Structure 1
């Protein structure tokens, strides 16, 4: 019986929110647990976190590199790779007949003394059954689709022709072994065809079709069943769904979806309990990435794991002992032919720092409690020490320096360790270093985590000066409230249709947006506003090709059969709302979204999310001025990154340019610079002569007035904390707004 690493089998283990701060004894004694959702919403994760997998590079294969091996498998702790596509040099890239092997124990490759396949073959299906490895389908060196099947006997080192597949065969299919039978699912035509090969009878059988056809999926067998992940459907959509095939009753059942869409990926079963989905891309036209997802079969749940060191797809994945090997592959775009070979291990002794709070920013004049989330990634209960140092970069000294013990932290458990608190002034900057110390720790890479914390409201400004606030960041003042749009006008004049269409809408007031004054806006079915007429259903990261892109929830939405989009004009004339109400994602009628974009007379943009269902990490949220050049954009979230910005129910986000707040609507735009000048000052600021008799207003970056004076040649800044501010100068005729950075 195989031993399952405790960390991995406890993927659903609760995060223990215990408090070690003596100043918070009432919370500690009550045993109150902080909900994991709260922690996720307010804290920054370790970038690329450890999450139990530690990757290392092993010996690369000899050239030429290869990908699309139709068959791979492990026999007596040796990994075999059958066929694939290789680069022979001189522009000659084609299918191969060769069989190679990798021996993890000696970290060496075997490229001689092995037989070859009967025909060159790539992108088919295959798998190991006993001491034999099977390949079927694929394409040969003339790009002909194959229906033949071959058996490689590892013991006798022979290759034998077996019974052919039904029909004309397939390629771009997924394959897996379950119950000593080989299953091949889907194909280049995005069908749901499912075939079973029984080597004992040397016979193929046609089974129940996968309900949602696809190509370029991945599959793996576990606990006697077959699991199929992602791929591409007939419309070209990259899928995130997961399906289970039960050979005993010949039925398919849809399971929990992956954390994100996948194509050109691979899947490997670990100890018959976990399935790792490795590499690939989130779009068929994109370069491959290094993402790794883990599916826990008994609980039907997913977790994001440590990414591979090398981004790639079309790779081969296998388990040997307690390690996963990801071998060969391609960037899926150029394409490259890789010789890369990487190993992921699961450690006995490994604790690390997973999160820090506060991270990146914290609001001024409010108590900030400094804490760290430590996690046990190993397989043993651990006692260790933790340490936090908070350095005030303006004062030039440590304001917190503490060490605490942690005892009895079990495998897969997490613990919040609370240190001292501060009430910082606006403009302060803290450098936070948190670390753990465990005797015998096998992975030092996650032992230390650092963050820079600025004391301010709102995000960093973009290139123009827009900032955002959100209910998903600690201390931001924005609150969620829903504006009922149903008394407004349903939008029905979509061009060309209600799937991927747009409608030109008049605004009830002139809306200031970046350096423009807008009287009309175009609304797209796919969850955004714009001044162009693009209707792309495939979301990308910012900057985008969509001019003046106001992306409330850019995803592939479909209004043809359900849902309504409304325009609601405030009777008082202060705002206009564009709302998507119960609008489903394409080909997913149960995944309905209800959200709205509100444009305010003073230039504020508000996103409200009332009810978000289904796939929440396949969208783009943010704003962009014009074409996004000069960094005129804010990307709030893209396909679930950063994780704590994944939008869900009752989330609100506002975007605004502080100098526009409180200004009157202008019907004739004044001529002004579109870039906000930046000035640097120490203890004193000299005022330009034309404003000596005018009014000078100093605001923080959220637009809140800190001080205002009338008639001054110089401003004494000594009482102003070091940091970033906005300064507005007026003389009755001219107005100027600067970004002021007060330095030491």
Structure 2
């Protein structure tokens, strides 16, 4: 048992006349730095979508401070730290999904917040700065689903329309068609997070169909059409590595990849509704998580934010706390040492 091992360790330390403490993930809380970047030129918002095409990040849709649906879209250039407005989507929404396949961005599903759920699906072409409606999503209309792209296809799974889902469908832009895929191996859920690495997708967190925090963690491999269960994000083993894993658990957070590591940050606890600023780093090679510098409290913990990565640089912004939504963006520098409020 973990407790017995800890007592034995403390006893050995006392017998040797030295001071020692059990190492925890908190040792890493100064690894990584958050740096303020240009505020979004458009309205502050929550539950927007984001994707990356080439050397630009894109963000759009969402819910403004007056609970009005947004359809506008913005392009971020990391090299100039500036925003440019691009063509708006044909219909506003929030809690949709967005991803990019090749040189186009795709947005679909979502809700108007009045118990109307969407399954329409659109492609954005930056070359013509225009949106084209595509084949409707093949599953049930839903909000707060998970969307990601692997290779030449996009995928949508999980979500909610009053009931919970874990079915999955793949979109093929070459044929403008959807195919049914193998369902997520674990719990149905809403508000989960996903990231993609080496042509495999990872789904973590969210709220399951029992209204509890989803702690199962899964990897999807399109090449074999299989789901693989990874280490649970809770303290379940007799080893030390997962002692603080309950800090990873959240819903409506964001996820991104920098280099050979995955990251999650922001979001909200399922058990008490409190907001989360803890940042965790996932090692794909070892299936282990390490805590990193939290999203800075001066910029406020939040849920319903967005994240995108451009040329190996990750940006997190928008979202909402208990009051008004946000329009700020920050870049996370995982190799830098933490410096307060820079």
TM-score of the aligned structures, taking structure 2 as reference length: 0.82
Residues 143 and 86 (structure 1 numbering): CA distance in 2 closer, same or farther, change over 3 Å? Answer: farther
What corresponds to 1:276 in structure 2?
263
The match for 1:326 is 316
Shift, 1:335, TM fit: 4.7
> Equivalent residues in 2 for 1:281-320 (5 A)?
281-283=268-270, 285-309=272-296, 310=299, 311-320=301-310
- Count of aligned pairs between the two proteins: 305
- Shift in Å, 1:170: 1.4
Separation of aligned partners in 2, 1:144 and 1:326: 28
Q: 1:215 aligns to what?
A: 190
Give the structure 2 partner of residue 225 of structure 1. 200
Measured against aligned partners, the alpha-carbon deviations of 1:110-165 in whole angstroms (never above 9, x if no partner) come to: 23xx2111111211212011221101111137541011100011121010000111
Classify the secondary structure of the residue corresponding to 1:94. Answer: coil
1:164-195 CA-to-partner distances (Å, cap 9, x unmatched) read: 11143211111111122111111112221111
CA distance in 1, matches of 2:258, 2:93: 27
- C-alpha deviation, 1:39, in angstroms: 5.7
* Aligned mate of 1:67, from 46, 60, 66: 46
Task: Render the CA deviation track for 1:635-676: whole Å, top value 9, x for unaligned.
Answer: xxxxxxxxxxxxxxxxxxxxxxxxxxxxxxxxxxxxxxxxxx
Q: Residue 171 of structure 2 contacts residue 177 of structure 2 at CA under 8 Å; is this kept in 1?
A: yes
Instruction: Provide closer, same or farther for how the CA distance between residues 229 and 141 of structure 1 changes in structure 2, counting only shifts above 3 A.
Output: closer
Q: Verify: 1:76 aligned to 2:57, yes or no.
A: no
- Which residue pairs with 1:101 in the alignment? 75
Equivalent in the alignment of 1:711: none
Indicate if the aligned counterparts of 2:42 and 2:74 stay in contact, CA closer than 8 A: no
Aligned-pair CA distance for 1:54: 1.0
Structure 2: how far apart are the matches of 1:247 and 1:171? 24
1:57 aligns with 2:36: yes
The alpha carbon displacement at 1:57 in A equals 1.2
Superposed, which structure 2 residues align to 1:511-590 within 5 Å? none
Distance 1:314 1:243 in 2: 22
CA distance in 2, matches of 1:99, 1:42: 45
Higher strand share: 1
Moved over 6 A (4+): none
Q: 1:61 to 1:295 in 2, by over 3 A?
A: same
Q: Which residue, out of 90, 112, 122, partners 1:150?
A: 122
Structure 2 partner of 1:265? 253
Residue 40 of structure 1 deviates from its aligned partner by 5.2
Distance 1:42 1:275, change over 3 A: closer
For residues 75 and 40 of structure 1, the distance between their equivalents in structure 2, rounded to whole angstroms, comes to 47
CA deviations on 1:417-473 (whole Å, 9 max, x unpaired) are xxxxxxxxxxxxxxxxxxxxxxxxxx666xxxxxxxxxxxxxxxxxxxxxxxxxxxx
Distance 1:58 1:42 in 2: 34
The CA RMSD measured in Å over matched residues stands at: 2.5
User: Would you say 1:339 and 2:311 are equivalent positions?
Assistant: no
| Conserved 8 A contact 1:150-1:160 | yes
Give the greater-gyration-radius structure (CA): 1
TM-score with structure 1 length normalisation? 0.39
CA distance in 2, matches of 1:119, 1:267: 26
Aligned mates of 2:35, 2:60 — CA distance in 1: 24
Unmatched segments (≥5 aa) in structure 2: 1-15, 234-244
Contact 2:26 2:291 survives alignment (8 Å): no
Change in CA separation of 1:187 and 1:72 when aligned onto 2, cut-off 3 Å? same
Partner residue in 1 for 2:215:
240
Structure 2 residue aligned with 1:115: 87
The residue number in structure 1 matching 2:7 is: none
Q: Report the CA distance between 1:103 and its aligned residue.
A: 1.9
Q: Relative contact order: is structure 1 or structure 2 higher (C-alpha 8 Å, sep ≥ 6)?
A: 2
Secondary structure of 1:86's counterpart equals coil
Q: 1:138 aligns with which of 110, 130, 137?
A: 110
Q: Kindly indicate whether the alpha-carbon contact (under 8 Å) linking 2:257 and 2:314 is maintained by their aligned counterparts in 1.
A: no
For the Cα contact (< 8 Å) 2:197–2:257, is it kept in 1?
Answer: yes
- SS of equivalent residue, structure 1 residue 93: coil
Whether contact under 8 Å (2:54, 2:310) holds in the other structure is no
Q: 2:159 aligns with which of 168, 171, 187?
A: 187
1:249: which partner in 2?
224
Identify if the C-alpha distance between structure 1 residues 61 and 250 changes in structure 2 by more than 3 Å, giving closer, same or farther.
same
Alignment of 1:328-727 (within 5 A): 328-331=318-321, 334-347=322-335
